[in-house]
Structure 1
């Protein structure tokens, strides 16, 4: 399949595994993932790879381009 340059690059062949943690625990996982620069799923993979001592399967944290560029949260115009 040809890439058209839109979207993120493929991470390769993957298997889908569904996890349904209790909401309070999910909120902790999501907050920790964001702090570490991971997506929610990649954070869970990183934790599993660490627990199983298989670092070759741990994804790298993603670079947050919006944070690096420091975009303002709300744009205001003089025309309004």
Structure 2
């Protein structure tokens, strides 16, 4: 299947595991995931990989795409 360049690249073959934490604990997990810039699932993978001392399974940190772009700021122009 050819990629059309739209959407997120595949993370490869995955297993599905469902977690249903208590609402108050879930809110903490979500808040921490948001602070890290990770999806909720990736945040849980990060915690598990750290706890099991298996960093090869930790998700890659999110890219700061804005910092990667070399977009010059527009100069204000008095000409016209």
- TM-score normalised by structure 2 residue count: 0.76
Cα distance in 2 for partners of 1:15, 1:5 equals 24
- TM-score normalised by structure 1 residue count: 0.76
- State whether residues 37 and 64 of structure 1, in contact with CA within 8 Å, keep that contact through their aligned partners in structure 2: no
Which residue of 1 is the match for residue 60 of structure 2?
60
- Runs of 4+ aligned structure 1 residues displaced above 4 Å come to none
Which residue of 2 is the match for residue 25 of structure 1?
25
Structure (1 or 2) with the larger CA radius of gyration: 2
Aligned residues: 67
Q: Aligned Cα RMSD in Å? A: 1.5
Which residue of 1 is the match for residue 7 of structure 2?
7
- Cα gap change, 1:64 to 1:25, in 2 (>3 Å): farther
Structure of higher RCO (CA pairs closer than 8 Å, 6+ residues apart): 1
Matched, 1:42 2:64: no
